[in-house]
Structure 1
Amino acid sequence: MFKTLRNAFKVKEVRTKLIYTFMMLVVIRIGSQLPIPGVNTEFFKEFFAQQNNDAMGFFNAMTGSSFSNMSVFALSISPYITSSIIMQLLTIAIPKLEEMQKDGEDGRKKIAEYTRYVTVGLALIESVAMAIGFGGQGLLKEFNALSIMIAVVTMTAGSALLMWIGERITEKGVGNGISIVLLVNIISSFPSDVSTLYNRFMSGKSVAVAAIAAIIIIAVILAIIVFVIVLQDGERRIPVQYSKKMQGRKMVGGQATNIPLKVNTAGVIPVIFASSLMSFPVVIAQFFGDKIDYSSIGGHILTGLNSSSWFKLDRPAYSIGLILYVALIIVFAYFYTSITFNPLEVANNMKKSGGFIPGIRPGKPTSDYLNSILNYIVFIGACSLTIVCVIPIMVSGLFNVSRLSFGGTSLIIIVSVVLETIKAVESQMLVRYYKGFLND
């Protein structure tokens, strides 16, 4: 990675794009420190400390702590990510959108435009819910119509601005801008995470004990990172052979290729879906403040849905919520894969172009074969995702450590974005070399 960056800075075009990307990220971090007018910036910090749950912990990590600081970028790019997922699902459900997606660059631009509209709409809904739901509890210094309007406009505009910056990074910088913004937001919480681990495992301990604790922590984190890298790059390659055919006076075709089926076909989407669904009732309960009776059956269910209650030795019954969490990850992995990869469509396209899998007849048998392999791969990928996500939760529960930003979901995002960005830099350099070769 460092060698790639060093070589990239030697190329003027790539260096300019990297500097542009860096300057945009500086703007984001400055905006993350600007408070919303009329808002009590200490409200959510005290709120999280009193509630002792992490229903919004991952959301806060995605915003780079802008949410807990209630800055102008409090919503960050979460509305854009949600709208992108919604549009992707609607593309499968609505034939007109599906045709639009297949209609080349113009169709994709139109879908991107709709995604922006949905993003602004979601940001408006979220900001109104926060301003009204938490405003009366102390979020707003003065709970009136003007303060609510200022908070709503500021948060909505901040989310729209971040979306614009992400698109500019994609256009004029390096890599996927939205992914890079998300990466920097998550990484910005690392200093506080290091401080948390130090205070829990090393502060006040002897030098030998502190050193052993540091080595174990670093080894566990590195092991998870390596596992995530293997998971992200792992794939099953299905061999495909194309038959020879006459074209004019020449025989063409006959080449061999493969269909790469990624082990983690759905990426981090199943985890986001599962976490969102689990935390939704808990987040809604926060709007009611002290009106929720956590000693009732409903209160116990809400506690069981909260991942900060899992693996607690004094409250083992609440860990039952983990079973639902794992089941949701597996279900969403199959669901998302089913709408993004169509074995029947792939089999038909292969048949039209004269391709076949050795030993498998074209058409329906090929589709069934791909579907059986895909089901096996998706299960392995979902189980691997579960392991990555559960380990930090288990450590947090057993050792009584407050939830860290570099949990399983965050690590998957970090590794995937870093790998994607490195490949983008390498492709930029490769294009530059090709241009130089052609000019010569």
Structure 2
Amino acid sequence: MLTAFARAFKTPDLRKKLLFTLGIIVLFRLGAHVPVPGIDYKNVQECMDQAEAQQGLFGLVNMFSGGALLQITIFALGIMPYITASIILQLLTVVIPRLEALKKEGQSGQAKITQYTRYLTVALAILQGTGLVATARSGSLFQNCTVGNDIVPDQSIFVTITMVLTMTAGTALVMWLGELVTDRGIGNGMSILMFVSIAAGFPSALWAIRQQGKIMDGWLEFSLVIVCGLAMVALVVFVEQAQRRIPVQYAKRMIGRRSYGGTSTYIPLKVNQAGVIPVIFASSLLYIPALIAQFSGSDSEWATWIENNFVTGDHPVYIVTYFLLIVFFAFFYVAISFNPEEVADNMKKYGGFIPGIRAGRPTAEYLSYVLNRITWPGSLYLGLIALVPTVALVTLNANQNFPFGGTSILIIVGVGLETVKQIESQLQQRHYEGFLR
């Protein structure tokens, strides 16, 4: 791996792309530490030192922003509005015929869908920014903080609008930086920025585990977490690379004096076909009852029950519900993202067939059968990986920012694998060794 990176930096155009990507990453991390106008940064830091943030409500967004959310910086919302907008557009593509027609138009249709995603990202950024400012003004962003109500000293309308517009502009800038990396850098820009945001919280989370440890000044717990983390990375890499290959044979056709087809290929069906989307869906859905209970301000029995069972994150009701939601959303997302009937029709149109399976409806039924069988282990794997931070919360008494587990490890491993594959493919194009050297 180190040799591959050394060869990449020796290639002039690849070196430019890598340095450009690193420059965007540095700029992105600098913006994550610039406070929003109207915030008392000293009080924010004091609250972060003495109080425990409500990770159950804001942990997911804070993770995707690289810790910028709780510091209320210009990149506080990070890339989360863009991720939400992309998921919404992807779901609406299945429901709205106009978007489905745009998706089939090729590059021009995809450009329009991308433009719609940008508009929706800005709208979601305004909505989320307003919610974050309102939470900061009310003093409920931090628990047990003596200066929590003084985070926003001036609560006038002008200052509030300025804060919301600043965070919205920061989200638009993050989106633009990600597109620049995609066009002129290495890898998918949004994925790279997401990778950087999550990886930025690893050192502090690991060091917090060492400080909370009691055996050998916490070094034993720290070492165990590192060993478990490496084992989990190996497991995630193994499962993410696992796939079921459905063989496909194309019939040989004679057109004039030329023969076409006669080739054999395969359809790769990944064990984790849904990726990290089910975990994000389940987490977002479980935050809704907690948010309703928090902002309702009532002391009724249902609000107390929700606060006791869903806010802490370690209650058995929360664990079982979280696991079942992940399994459900895994099947749901696979069903809308992979259409066996469409694949079977395309194969039949171009003369392809699965050996031993008739073309058309039998092929679609066979693909659905295989897809359902491999989605079961994939969904159970997602649920177990997502519950690792909860197990760590109970056993190690660690905070919910436990790095190795849940959404963080899935995204980091997935983005890392894709980026390394792109670097290797570009290296092979420039250093291809054939028969003649």
> After the TM superposition, which of the residue ranges 14-23 and 401-410 deviates more from structure 2?
401-410
In structure 1, the partner of 2:94 is: 92
Structure 2: how far apart are the matches of 1:74 and 1:52?
16
The residue correspondences of 1:33-182 to structure 2 (distance < 5 A) are 33-41=33-41, 42-43=43-44, 46=47, 49-50=51-52, 53-137=55-139, 138=149, 139-182=151-194
**Residue 182 and residue 338 in structure 1: after superposition, are their counterparts in 2 closer, same or farther (change >3 A)?**
same
Segments of structure 2 that go 5 or more residues without pairing to the other structure are 140-148
Give, in angstroms, the shift of residue 79 of structure 1: 0.5
Q: Work out whether 1:418 is the aligned partner of 2:420.
A: no
TM-score, normalised on structure 1?
0.91
**Closer/same/farther in 2, CA of residues 58 and 2 from structure 1, 3 Å limit:** farther
Matching of residues 208-287 of structure 1 within 5 Å: 212-287=220-295
Cα 1:28–1:369 shift into 2, 3 Å: same
Distance between the aligned counterparts of 1:121 and 1:391, measured in 2? 34
Cα distance in structure 1, aligned partners of 2:239 and 2:285? 24
What is the CA deviation profile of residues 199-232 of structure 1, one whole-angstrom value per residue up to 9, with x for unaligned ones? Answer: 1225xx438xx55434322221111111111121
Query: How has the CA–CA distance of structure 1 residues 136 and 324 changed in structure 2, closer, same or farther, with 3 Å as cutoff?
Result: closer
The root-mean-square deviation of aligned C-alpha atoms, in Å, is: 2.2
Matched residue type, 2:307: L
Instruction: Write the deviation string for residues 44-73 of structure 1: whole angstroms up to 9, x where unpaired.
Output: 973893565522112211111100111100
1:197/1:11 CA distance change after superposition, 3 Å: same
The aligned residue for residue 300 of structure 1 is 305
The 8 Å contact of residues 64 and 197 in structure 2, kept in 1 or not, is answered as yes
Work out whether residues 183 and 417 of structure 1, in 8 Å CA contact, stay in contact via their aligned partners in 2: yes
Please tell me whether the aligned partners of residues 270 and 329 of structure 1 are also in contact (alpha carbons under 8 angstroms). Answer: yes
Instruction: Note if contact 1:232-1:264 (Cα within 8 Å) is conserved in structure 2.
Output: yes
The amino acid of 1:37's aligned partner reads P
Query: In 2, are the aligned partners of 1:241 and 1:357 still within 8 Å (CA)?
Result: yes
What's the offset of the Cα at 1:287?
A: 3.8
Contact 2:213–2:219 (Cα < 8 Å) also in 1: no
Task: Report the more deviating stretch, 5-14 or 242-251.
Answer: 242-251
| 2:194 maps to 1:189 | no
Q: Is the 8 A contact 2:293 2:303 kept in 1?
A: no
Residue identity matched to 1:18? L
Preserved CA contact (<8 Å) 1:61 1:405: no
Counterpart amino acid of 1:234? Answer: A
Contact 1:169/1:175 (8 A) holds in 2: yes
Question: For 1:128-170, what per-residue CA distance to the aligned partner results, in whole angstroms no more than 9, with x for missing partners?
Answer: 2222343243342111101111111110000000000000011
Contact persistence 2:250–2:262 (CA under 8 A)? yes
- Report if the CA contact (8 A) 1:347-1:362 is conserved: yes
- Partner residue of 1:17? 17
Shift of 1:2: 2.6
The superposition leaves residues 356-381 of structure 1 with CA deviations (integer Å, 9 ceiling, x where unpaired) of: 11111111111001001101111111
Q: Report the 3-state secondary structure (helix = DSSP H, G, I; strand = E; otherwise coil) of the residue aligned with 1:427.
A: helix
- Once the two structures are TM-superposed, the CA of residue 298 in structure 1 deviates from its matched residue by 2.6
What is the percentage of aligned positions where both structures have the same residue?
41
Taking structure 1 as reference, are residues 370 and 171 closer, same or farther at Cα in structure 2, changes over 3 Å only?
same
Aligned to 1:315: none
Amino acid at match of 2:422: A
Q: Tell me, which stretches of 5 or more residues in structure 1 are unaligned?
A: 311-317
Deviation at 1:292, TM superposition (A): 4.5
1:320 to 2:317 alignment? yes
2:143 match: none
Deviations 1:337-372 (A, max 9, x none): 111110001011111111111111111111001001
Is residue 389 from structure 1 mapped to residue 386 from structure 2 by the alignment?
yes
Letter in 2 for 1:264: N
Match of 1:313 in 2: none
Counterpart residue type for residue 322 of structure 2: Y
Shift of 1:39: 1.4
Deviation at 1:420, TM superposition (A): 0.8
- Within 2, Cα distance between the matches of 1:211 and 1:397? 19
Aligned to 2:146: none
Moved more, 64-73 or 104-113: 104-113
> How far apart, CA to CA, are the structure 2 residues paired with 1:190 and 1:51?
17
Equivalenced residue count is: 422
- Amino acid corresponding to residue 39 of structure 2 in structure 1: V
Offset at residue 432 of structure 1 (A): 3.4
Please give the secondary structure, in 2, of the residue aligned with 1:112: helix
SS at 1:362 equivalent: coil
> Does 324-333 or 128-137 show the bigger shift?
128-137
Residue of structure 2 in register with 1:378 after alignment: 375
Q: 1:285: how far off?
A: 3.6
TM-score by length of 2: 0.91
Could you tell me how far apart the structure 1 residues matched to 2:53 and 2:186 are?
40
Q: 1 CA distance for matches of 2:54 and 2:27?
A: 32
Q: Equivalents in 2 of 1:172, 1:250: separation in Å?
A: 41
Shift of residue 251, structure 1, vs aligned partner:
3.3
**Conservation of the 8 A alpha-carbon contact between 1:45 and 1:68:** no
Aligned to 2:427: 429
Q: For 2:177 and 2:374, how far apart are their aligned partners in 1?
A: 36
